[in-house]
């Protein structure tokens, strides 16, 4: 599935939850499914700056494709980073770097995410894009 | 007695719904909501009389200047200052501390000591750290006890001939603790020649303050935490001390005479207020002071005390909730909280879905959070427009949120 198709998929799923509490619960479920993050990778090198809680994103390159492992000490942030990591995982660095899609706009998370958390989400995306850009070059 | 349901009608924001629920605003420790009296007064100035203060020789400027300067009288009465000249307008408490730290400490000698406490807001730590480094001063911190109060024995042991400044919170923005200012100030005056400064950011909005009775030297006040607008605050200081201090900011309005190579300062208070002051905000603060005075600060205090007792009982009975709050008989209606294994931002995001507004983070008290081994807490603070129902809603929402998040 392409980045755009995955985004479309998540959009449809999120639309099934009309109120913010249900949306958060969905993110919490995603967080709970994401259990394989190695504790030893919870280090500053992989920490995403600008989040209210601690968020870690670890890129991994396998056969010309990028994969992202993610974690956070807060559940809702972890759900969000899990979702973002799954959108950009199994993609070529070039495709990630060139993707113009604005996830925050697509998911209409602006209302339920406070500006501080929006910054957090932007930081997650920035980390992914920067890493992909480096590899694509 | 404060009738909250009547009083709420004065605050237009409470007509709003959040996520389809009534707004349960419990973040007044960060900023208070504003009554129409404040909003309308500021709008009135811009609509009917706006002109720069102290300069114009025309009707608009004269009216604005009169209104602006009259706010000093209102504040003088509000905190029982000796004179309205002792009221210095600042941008807020933070600027107040930066002004005091810079102005006071440049007269000190290397090795002189400043006493703060472990539970101070960053605004009452960072400015002192910055000047301490510059002038080679030492900062000592009073220990906090297990019940989140100041360790007064430790405080006494820190006082010595080198102590020149003691700057302590008046009401903690984390534990609600109310230090015995009179007692601490007496100890300082007995054992040292240091000045005593009170961080009044949380204290002045909630309690009747009489600076003469307290015997203190300075107090920093935040306007937006006491129903006023943002961008305005006050430093009150004894006039004889203010007269000795040099200004920190230079520019228009603070001078008497200016030459190419030097200048002389205007008398107190204007020598500390460089540039065009935030006069509309100051006038807004004046309207806030009128509003609080009309309620009578003794009633505001009683309301806070009654609500605090109700809230404390309610919150301390929630299973799994750790409440960082003093056990003292009297304290502010402020509760920092945490749930083991649950991040404070998750709880506060969940509470928002119930229409409950609380703050999550370290509340600008990072060193003390670190001491408690907490990354973050979420905090509820009550004010005049909050009642028992708000804390019932909060408690239910916390219980529901814990269920969802664990």
Taking CA atoms, A63 is separated from A66, A82, A135, B133, in Å, by: 8, 22, 13, 54
Contact B215, B189 (CB under 8 A): yes
Cβ pair A24:B360 closer than 8 A: no
Assigned token pair, B66: 């009169």
Residues of chain A with Cβ-Cβ distance to B352 below 8 Å are: 20
Q: Does B405 touch chain A (CB under 8 A)?
A: yes
- Across the range A48-54, mean pLDDT stands at 78
Average pLDDT over residues A25-42: 92
- Mean pLDDT score across all residues of chain B: 96
Report the pLDDT value the prediction gives residue A119, as an integer from 0 to 100: 61
pLDDT for A108 equals 63
Give the pLDDT confidence score for residue A135 in this predicted structure. 79
- CATH architecture of the domain with residue range A3-136: Alpha-Beta Complex (3.90)
Element (H, E) at B336: strand B334-339
Best of B340, B345, B354, B405 to disrupt the A interface (most A CBs within 10 Å) is B345
What integer is the mean pLDDT of B300-307? 98
The residue annotated as part of the active site, out of B105, B220, B333, B364, is B364
Closest residue in chain A to residue B376, using alpha carbons only = A53
Give the SS3 label for residue B117: strand
Higher pLDDT, B35 or A15: B35
Q: Which of the two residues, B208 and A129, has the higher pLDDT score?
A: B208
Are B343 and A25 in contact (CB < 8 Å)? no
Q: Output DSSP code: residue B15.
A: G
Q: Which residue has the tokens 């709970």?
A: A32
Q: What is the pLDDT of residue B309?
A: 97
Tell me whether residue B220 is one of the annotated catalytic residues: no
Q: What is the pLDDT of residue A20?
A: 87
Q: Please write the tens of the pLDDT for every residue from B368-381.
A: 888 888 888 999 99
Write down the residue that tokens 């807020």 correspond to: B92
Residues 6 or more apart whose Cβ sits within 8 Å of residue A10: A83, A87, A107
Partners of residue A21 in chain B, C-beta under 8 Å: 19, 350, 353-354, 404
Q: What is the pLDDT of residue A114?
A: 54
Percent of chain B with pLDDT over 70: 100
**A28/B342 CB distance under 8 A:** no
For residues B275 and B247, the answer to whether their CB atoms sit within 8 Å is: no
Report the pLDDT averaged over residues B45-62. 92
**DSSP state for residue B47 in the 8-state scheme:** I
Core vs surface per residue A102-123: b (16+ CB within 10 A) or e: ebeeebebeebbbeebebbbeb
Residues 4-43, chain B, touching A (beta carbon < 8 A): 19-20
What DSSP state is assigned to residue B45?
I
Residue of A21, A25, A73 lying closest to B343 (CB–CB): A73
pLDDT score of B290: 98
The pLDDT score that the predictor gives to residue A112 is 46
Read off the pLDDT of residues B23-44 as tens digits, 9 standing for 90 and up: 999 999 999 999 999 999 999 9
Nearest residue on chain A to B375, judged by CA atoms? A53
Q: Answer whether A75 sits within 8 Å of B343, measured CB to CB.
A: yes
pLDDT at A118 over 60: no
Q: Does B345 touch chain A (CB under 8 A)?
A: yes
CA dist B401 and B274 (Å) reads 49
Considering CB atoms only, which of A24, A53, A114 is closest to B343? Answer: A53
Record: contact A76-B20, CB cut-off 8 A: no
Residue with tokens 């809230």, as numbered in its chain: B311
Interface list for B 360-389 with A (CB within 8 A) = 360-361, 375-376
Label residue B385 by pLDDT band (50, 70, 90).
very high
Chain B residues whose CB is inside 8 A of the A28 CB are 404-405
DSSP chain A: --HHHHHHHHHHHHHT--SHHHHHHHHHHHHHH-----GGG-SGGGBPTT-SS-EEEEEEEETTEEEEEEEESSHHHHHHHHHHHHHHTTB-HHHHHH----HHHHTT-TTTS-HHHHHHHHHHHHHHHHHHHHHH-
Q: What is the pLDDT of residue B369?
A: 87
- A24/B345 Cβ within 8 A: no
Mean pLDDT of B334-353: 94
Can you give the pLDDT at residue B137? Answer: 98
CB–CB of B405 and A20 under 8 A?
Answer: no
Query: How much is the pLDDT for B365?
Result: 84
Contact assignment for B353 to A74 by CB distance below 8 Å: no
Residue A137 has pLDDT above 90, yes or no: no
Of the candidates B346, B354, B361, the beta carbon closest to that of A76 is on: B346
Please tell me the predicted confidence (pLDDT) of residue A113. Answer: 55
The nearest alpha carbon in chain B to A77 belongs to B346
pLDDT in tens, B134-154: 999 999 999 999 989 999 999
Query: Domains along chain B?
Result: 40-294 (3.40.640.10), 296-405 (3.90.1150.10)
pLDDT one-digit tens code per residue, B95-134: 999 999 999 999 999 999 999 999 999 999 999 999 999 9
In which band, very low, low, confident or very high, does the pLDDT at A111 lie, cut at 50, 70 and 90?
very low
Q: Is the pLDDT of residue A106 over 90?
A: no
ipTM score assigned to the predicted complex: 0.87
Alpha helix positions (H), B211-343: 211-214, 239-244, 279-295, 297-316
Mean local confidence (pLDDT), A113-129 = 69
pLDDT (tens digit per residue) in B276-299: 999 999 999 999 999 999 999 999
Most confident of A3-12, A33-42, B155-164: B155-164
Q: In chain B, what are the helix, strand and coil shares in percent, each to the nearest 5? A: 45, 20, 35
Q: Please state whether the predicted TM-score (pTM) of the whole model is above 0.90.
A: yes
pLDDT of residue A130: 84
CA distance A8 to A82: 16
Percent of chain B with pLDDT over 90: 90
B59 near A CB under 8 A: no
Domain residue ranges in chain A: 3-136
């Amino acid at each position: 599935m392409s980045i755009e198709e995955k985004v479309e998929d998540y959009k449809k799923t999120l639309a099934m939850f009309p109120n913010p509490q249900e949306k958060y619960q969905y993110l919490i479920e995603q967080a709970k499914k994401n259990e394989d993050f190695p504790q030893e990778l919870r280090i500053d090198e992989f920490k995403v700056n600008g989040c209210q809680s601690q968020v870690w994103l670890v890129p991994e390159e396998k056969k010309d494709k990028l994969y992202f492992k993610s974690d956070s000490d807060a559940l809702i942030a972890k759900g969000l980073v899990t979702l973002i990591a799954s959108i950009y995982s199994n993609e070529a660095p070039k495709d990630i770097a060139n993707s113009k899609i604005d996830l925050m706009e697509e998911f209409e998370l602006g209302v339920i995410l406070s500006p501080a958390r929006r910054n957090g989400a932007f930081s997650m995306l920035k980390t992914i894009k920067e890493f992909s850009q480096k590899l694509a070059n | 007695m404060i009738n909250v349901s009547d009083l709420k009608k004065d605050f237009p924001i409470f007509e709003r719904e959040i996520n389809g629920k009534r707004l349960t605003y419990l973040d007044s420790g960060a900023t208070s909501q504003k009554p129409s009296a404040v909003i309308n007064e500021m709008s009135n100035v811009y609509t009917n009389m706006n002109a720069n203060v102290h300069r114009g020789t025309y009707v608009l400027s004269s009216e604005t200047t009169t209104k602006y300067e009259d706010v000093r009288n209102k504040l003088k009465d509000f905190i029982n200052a000796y004179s309205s000249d002792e009221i210095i307008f600042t941008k807020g408490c933070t600027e107040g501390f930066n002004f005091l730290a810079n102005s006071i400490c440049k007269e000190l000698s290397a090795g002189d000591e400043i006493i703060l406490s472990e539970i101070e807001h960053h605004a009452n730590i960072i400015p002192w750290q910055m000047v301490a480094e510059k002038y080679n001063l030492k900062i000592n911190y009073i220990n906090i006890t297990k019940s989140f109060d100041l360790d007064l024995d430790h405080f006494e042991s820190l006082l010595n001939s080198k102590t020149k400044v003691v700057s302590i919170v008046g009401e903690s923005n984390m534990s609600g603790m109310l230090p015995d200012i009179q007692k601490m100030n007496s100890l300082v005056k007995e054992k040292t020649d240091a000045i005593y400064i009170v961080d009044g950011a949380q204290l002045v909005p909630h309690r009747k303050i009489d600076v003469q009775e307290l015997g203190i030297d300075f107090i920093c006040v935040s306007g937006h935490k006491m129903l006023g607008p943002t961008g305005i605050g006050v430093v009150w200081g004894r006039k004889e001390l203010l007269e000795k201090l040099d200004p920190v900011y230079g520019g228009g309005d603070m001078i008497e005479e200016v030459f190419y190579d030097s200048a002389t300062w205007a008398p107190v208070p204007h020598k500390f207020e460089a540039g065009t002051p935030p006069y509309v905000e100051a006038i807004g603060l004046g309207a806030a002071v009128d509003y609080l005075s009309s309620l009578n600060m003794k009633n505001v205090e009683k309301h806070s005390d009654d609500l605090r007792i109700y809230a404390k009982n309610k919150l301390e009975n929630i299973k799994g909730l750790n409440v960082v709050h003093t056990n003292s008989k009297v304290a502010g209606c402020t509760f920092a909280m945490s749930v083991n294994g649950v991040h404070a931002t998750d709880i506060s995001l969940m509470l928002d879905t119930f229409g409950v507004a609380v703050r999550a983070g370290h509340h600008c008290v990072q060193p003390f959070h670190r001491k408690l081994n907490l990354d973050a807490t979420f905090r509820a603070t009550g004010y005049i427009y909050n009642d028992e129902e708000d804390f019932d809603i909060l408690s239910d929402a916390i219980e529901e949120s814990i269920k969802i998040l664990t």
